[in-house]
C-alpha cells in the first residue's frame, strides 16, 4: 500500500474544509493559536512512518493527556479505580455538571473532565512528585525528552476554569476528591497543557497499539489487559459526545483534545495522529476527523 500517496490524496480532499469551524477560545491561550494549520503522522508498527504538513509542530494536547493519566492511575490502583469513576459513554458535554450531580459525584468515565479530575486526584495522592512523574512518563512513551508542560497555557486555563472548579467542588462534596481543589485543578491544567507534535503522539500511542510488548516506566506497566481496557474506553468515550459518530465514520479507538489533536490506533497495525485547530461544535477537529475517516476508508484498515 502506498501510504504516502494516500495521505497526500487525503490532504487534497479535505482542503475544501480548511476554513470551517474555529479553534477553542474558552482558554485564552488557545484562542491565540493560528487556526490554519494541519499535520499528520502515521506510524506503522512494522517500522515505517509517513508524514504530512506540520507533523512536527507542537500543540496543546489538552484532553489527550487523559489517556496518559488513566494509564498511570489504572496501573497503580487496578480495579479499585472503578469505584471512583465509571466506564460508560456520557452522551453529555465533556464539562457537564448536570450528570455528575444526578450520579452522586461518580463521573461517567475517565475522559470527561470530572473523570480526569478524579484521575488527577489519584495521581496527586499516589505519586511522590506527580508533575515530574507525569512528564517523564510521557517523554518515555514518545521517546522525546524535549516534551514539556506549557505553564503559560496551564495558567491561562486555570485563570478562568470556573466550570472545572465547580466540578471539582461537586466531587469534593461527594467525597470523591481527597486533595485540595486548588491543587487538583492546578495539576489537571498542567497535564492538559503538555505540548506534543503529531509525531510525538503517534509514537507515544504505539504502546496502545502494540500491547504484545508491554511498555513500562517507573513501575507503571501497560500490560495487555490494561491496554485492552484503555482502548475500549477510547473507543466508547474518546470523542466527547461524538464518540458514536467517530466510531461510525472512522472505526478506531482514539482520543481528541480541544487543541485540535486527534490520535487513534489500529491494534497490532499502526498509530496515527492528526492536528488542525479548527473544531466542530462538539470539540473535535474538523479536518482531523475528515482525514481519519478518509484514511480508514481508503486503506480499509479500520478495526471493523
Ligand atoms: N483542559 C480542557 C478543559 O478542561 C480540556 C478539554 C478537552 O480537550 O477536552 O476544558
What DSSP assignment string belongs to 55-117?
TT--EE-GGGHHHHHHHHHHHHHGGGGGGTS--S---S-TT-SHHHHHTTT--S-TTSHHHHH
- Which domains does the chain carry? 3-299 (3.40.710.10)
Instruction: Say whether pLDDT at 94 is over 90.
Output: no
Supply 154's cell numbers. 496551564
Task: Report CA(63)–ligand 1 centroid distance (Å).
Answer: 5
d(C-alpha 184, C-alpha 124), whole Å: 7
Q: What is the SS3 assignment for 282?
A: coil
d(C-alpha 181, C-alpha 170), whole Å: 10
Pocket (CB within 6 angstroms of ligand 1): 62-63, 94-95, 113, 157, 164, 192, 257-258, 283
* 118-148 tens-digit pLDDT: 999 999 999 999 999 999 999 999 999 999 9
d(C-alpha 275, C-alpha 115), whole Å: 24
pLDDT given at position 212: 83
What predicted TM-score, i.e. pTM, was given to this entire model? 0.97
pLDDT given at position 96: 85
Instruction: Say whether pLDDT at 95 is over 90.
Output: no
On whether the CB atoms of residues 68 and 136 are closer than 8 A, the answer is no
Q: Where are the alpha helices (DSSP H) in the chain?
A: 3-14, 28-31, 65-77, 98-102, 113-126, 130-142, 151-158, 162-173, 181-193, 198-204, 206-209, 224-237, 243-249, 286-299
Which residue's CA is the nearest one to ligand 1's atom 2?
A: 62
Share of the chain above pLDDT 70, in %: 100
Task: Report CA(245)–ligand 1 centroid distance (Å).
Answer: 20
d(C-alpha 18, C-alpha 69), whole Å: 32
On whether the CB atoms of residues 251 and 293 are closer than 8 A, the answer is no
Task: Report CA(219)–ligand 1 centroid distance (Å).
Answer: 28
Task: Report CA(155)–ligand 1 centroid distance (Å).
Answer: 13
Task: Report CA(257)–ligand 1 centroid distance (Å).
Answer: 7
d(C-alpha 114, C-alpha 99), whole Å: 10
pLDDT given at position 91: 84
Which residue's CA is the nearest one to ligand 1's atom 6?
A: 63
Which residue's CA is the nearest one to ligand 1's atom 4?
A: 113
Q: What is the SS3 assignment for 121?
A: helix
On whether the CB atoms of residues 196 and 204 are closer than 8 A, the answer is yes
Instruction: Say whether pLDDT at 29 is over 90.
Output: yes
Ligand 1 atom nearest the C-alpha of 192 is 1
Task: Report CA(15)–ligand 1 centroid distance (Å).
Answer: 27
In this prediction, residue 195 has a pLDDT band, given cuts at 50, 70 and 90, of very high
The neighbouring-strand residues paired with 271 are 43, 265
Residue 136 CA, distance from chain mean position: 17
What integer best gives the mean pLDDT of the chain? 96
Q: Of 60, 111, 192, which is best to mutate to test ligand 1, by the most ligand atoms within 8 angstroms of its C-beta?
A: 192
On whether the CB atoms of residues 76 and 125 are closer than 8 A, the answer is no
Share of the chain above pLDDT 90, in %: 95
Amino acid at each position: 500500500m502506498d501510504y504516502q500517496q494516500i495521505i497526500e490524496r487525503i490532504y487534497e480532499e479535505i482542503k475544501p474544509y480548511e476554513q470551517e469551524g474555529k479553534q477553542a477560545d474558552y482558554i485564552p491561550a488557545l484562542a491565540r493559536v493560528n487556526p490554519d494549520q494541519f499535520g499528520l503522522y502515521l506510524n506503522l508498527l512494522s517500522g515505517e512512518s509517513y508524514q504530512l504538513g506540520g507533523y512536527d509542530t507542537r500543540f496543546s494536547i489538552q484532553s489527550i493527556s487523559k489517556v496518559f493519566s488513566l494509564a498511570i492511575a489504572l496501573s497503580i490502583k487496578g480495579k479499585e479505580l472503578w469505584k471512583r469513576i465509571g466506564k460508560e459513554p456520557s452522551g453529555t458535554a465533556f464539562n457537564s455538571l448536570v450528570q455528575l450531580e444526578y450520579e452522586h459525584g461518580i463521573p461517567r468515565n475517565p475522559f470527561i473532565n470530572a473523570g480526569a479530575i478524579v484521575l488527577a486526584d489519584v495521581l496527586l495522592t499516589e505519586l511522590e512528585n506527580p508533575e515530574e512523574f507525569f512528564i517523564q512518563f510521557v517523554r518515555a512513551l514518545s521517546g522525546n525528552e524535549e516534551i514539556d508542560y506549557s505553564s503559560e497555557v496551564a495558567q491561562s486555563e486555570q485563570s478562568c476554569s470556573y466550570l472545572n472548579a465547580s466540578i471539582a467542588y461537586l466531587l469534593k462534596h461527594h467525597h470523591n476528591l481527597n486533595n485540595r481543589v486548588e491543587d487538583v485543578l492546578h495539576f489537571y491544567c498542567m497535564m492538559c497543557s503538555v505540548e506534543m507534535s503529531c509525531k510525538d503522539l503517534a509514537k507515544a500511542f504505539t504502546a496502545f497499539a502494540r500491547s504484545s510488548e508491554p511498555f513500562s516506566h517507573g513501575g507503571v506497566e501497560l500490560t495487555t489487559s490494561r491496554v485492552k481496557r484503555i482502548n475500549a474506553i477510547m473507543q466508547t468515550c474518546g470523542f466527547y459526545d461524538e464518540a458514536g459518530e467517530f466510531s461510525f465514520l472512522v472505526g478506531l479507538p482514539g482520543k481528541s483534545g480541544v487543541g485540535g489533536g486527534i490520535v487513534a490506533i489500529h491494534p497490532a497495525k499502526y498509530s496515527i495522529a492528526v492536528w488542525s485547530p479548527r473544531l466542530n461544535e462538539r470539540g473535535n477537529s474538523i479536518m482531523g476527523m475528515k482525514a481519519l475517516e478518509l484514511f480508514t476508508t481508503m486503506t480499509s484498515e479500520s478495526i471493523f
